[in-house]
Amino acid sequence: MDRAVILGTFEFIGFSLCKHLLEQGCEIDGIHFGKEKDDALIHEKRLTIGRNANFNEKNYSAWIKSGEILKNDMIFIDIYDLYIRNDLPALREKELIEGFLMKHLALFQSLQVKIAFLLPIQWLKDISRTHSQLEDAIEILQENNISVSSFYMPVIYGPWQPKEFSFHQSIAKERVIISEREWIHDAIFIDDLINFLSNCSDRSLDESFLLKSSITGHWRKCADYLSLDYNENWSSPDLAIGKVAERTIQCSVKFSDGLEKQRRHFISLESPYGL
């Protein structure tokens, strides 16, 4: 892959993916949602990227209006983080679907564009899905022979994990509140997820995948390591998996090492000298 467009380039997954692909020499159009606060954390992310000629930061509204895409572009749409932050309105779904996805069907075909939707596992059962038109849009894209993949993900942890997650709260020594938007039945380390997504981007998958960790009870192992107080009787709810294929993500590090990497990164951000 030579070029990618990332919607949500300063979100947790979007930024981690952006950073990885830049390190691989990929050219990135980084699209930031209009409601993202230009806070200290985003400033740190900009500093991390640095003056990279391969990175082009663009405003979400301006990018949708321009419809700027090139041949063989890989477009990642990070809905996962907006869901976790309870900020789905920032996606401006109608504008994205009608003003971009449906408007450029013929262009996607001729330029052989590939699109990947990054979604929370809860999307398979949550009311957010029933109020969303994304599923219909994805079907239309597929009917028009456009390569579309959807990835449904559990808790993702590691450096840059946002404050909405219990792992972050514990590491930050804050009061831990396990949100109903945190899928406590599985977890995947961010580096393993990004490597998987990067490898997938070089293939036309045209499928939906429920991603699961190779470690049984991964979230609970992390929670126990951090001494979190949680309901051990929580059972995993049934999901409307349907045609969604399960894909196991191999864990490259011990869960404790992954959490300690997240802790060191958090401490470095909190230090007066930053990263």
- CA dist., res. 105 & res. 141, Å (int): 7
Q: What per-residue confidence (pLDDT) applies to 131?
A: 63
- CA dist., res. 73 & res. 3, Å (int): 6
Q: What tens digit of pLDDT does each residue of 61-72 get?
A: 899 988 899 999
Burial of 73 from C-beta contacts in 10 A (0-12 / 13-18 / 19+): buried
Please state, in angstroms and as integers, the Cα–Cα distance from residue 116 to each residue in 6, 14, 119, 141, 190, following that order: 10, 12, 9, 12, 17
The helix/strand count (H/E) of the chain reads as 12, 10
Burial 156-173 (b: 16+ CB within 10 A, else e): bbbbbbeebbbbbbbbee
Q: Which domains does the chain have, with CATH numbers?
A: 3-158+187-213+241-253 (3.40.50.720)
Assess whether pLDDT exceeds 60 at residue 79. Answer: yes
Q: What tens digit of pLDDT does each residue of 2-52 get?
A: 999 999 999 999 999 999 999 999 999 999 986 555 588 899 999 999 989
Q: What per-residue confidence (pLDDT) applies to 235?
A: 66
Burial of 260 from C-beta contacts in 10 A (0-12 / 13-18 / 19+): middle
- CA dist., res. 122 & res. 37, Å (int): 25
Q: What per-residue confidence (pLDDT) applies to 135?
A: 87
Residue 264: how many CB atoms within 10 A of its CB? Answer: 12
Q: What tens digit of pLDDT does each residue of 112-158 get?
A: 999 999 999 988 876 556 668 898 999 999 999 999 999 999 999 99
Q: What per-residue confidence (pLDDT) applies to 33?
A: 85
Task: Mark residue 128 as left, alpha or beta (left: phi above 0; alpha: psi -120 to 50; beta: remaining).
Answer: alpha
Instruction: Note whether 44 and 50 are within 8 A (CB).
Output: no
Lowest mean pLDDT of 78-82, 128-132, 205-209, 243-247, name the range: 128-132
Residue 40: how many CB atoms within 10 A of its CB? Answer: 10
If one compares 124 and 98, the residue with the highest pLDDT of the two is 98
Beta bridge partners of 5: 29, 75
Sequential DSSP letters for 221-249 = HHHHHTT----TT--PPP---TTPEEEEE
Q: What per-residue confidence (pLDDT) applies to 204?
A: 65
Residue 88 has what DSSP assignment?
Answer: G
Question: Could you give the count of Cα atoms lying within 13 Å of 244 in the half-sphere of its Cβ?
Answer: 21
- CA dist., res. 118 & res. 136, Å (int): 16
Q: What per-residue confidence (pLDDT) applies to 128?
A: 58
Q: Which residue has the tokens 């959490």?
A: 259
Q: What per-residue confidence (pLDDT) applies to 275?
A: 46
Beta bridge partners of 233: none
Q: What tens digit of pLDDT does each residue of 190-203 get?
A: 999 999 999 987 77
User: Cα torsion for 243, 125, 190, 44, to the nearest 10°?
Assistant: 130
Instruction: Note whether 201 and 195 are within 8 A (CB).
Output: no
Report how far Cα 267 is from the mean position of its chain's Cα atoms: 23
- CA dist., res. 229 & res. 94, Å (int): 40
